[in-house]
Amino acid sequence: MVGIKGGGHLSVTELCQTNKQGRNAVEEAQVDGVCGVETAVIIGLPALNDCGPGSLPWMKGVEIVNYVSAAAIDETLHCTNRDAAFQKLQTRFPEIGDFLHEP
């Protein structure tokens, strides 16, 4: 388990990024008439509130998740000791708050 400071459910998605028209993915889907978007937006996305000032940059979230996932998968599927990778985690990524590693 890894907690990312300033991160949330959308930190590793493109949903907060904007296109050349200045619209994020949800706004673009609404403009394009994708069905069901209004319901998803009303029910869940505003509550996540991951896109505001002070939120973690998208690519930093992706970098953290990729690093941690690769270490965990390597450890689990290849029976490789990845303790050193996990011990360096908060030094390598100061954006990580709490984490729990149970090999």
Supply the DSSP symbol for 27. H
Per-residue tokens: 90: 């908060």
CA proximity to 86, closest of 6, 5, 4, 1:
1
Residue span of the structural domain in which 56 resides:
2-99
Q: Which residue has the higher pLDDT, 92 or 25?
A: 92
Q: Which residues contact 36 (CB under 8 A, 6 or more apart)?
A: none
What pLDDT sits at residue 40? 64
How confident is the model over 3-42, as pLDDT tens digits?
888 777 777 777 777 788 888 777 888 888 888 777 765 5
What pLDDT sits at residue 51? 67
Q: Give the percent of the chain with pLDDT over 90.
A: 3
Q: How many domains does the chain have?
A: 1
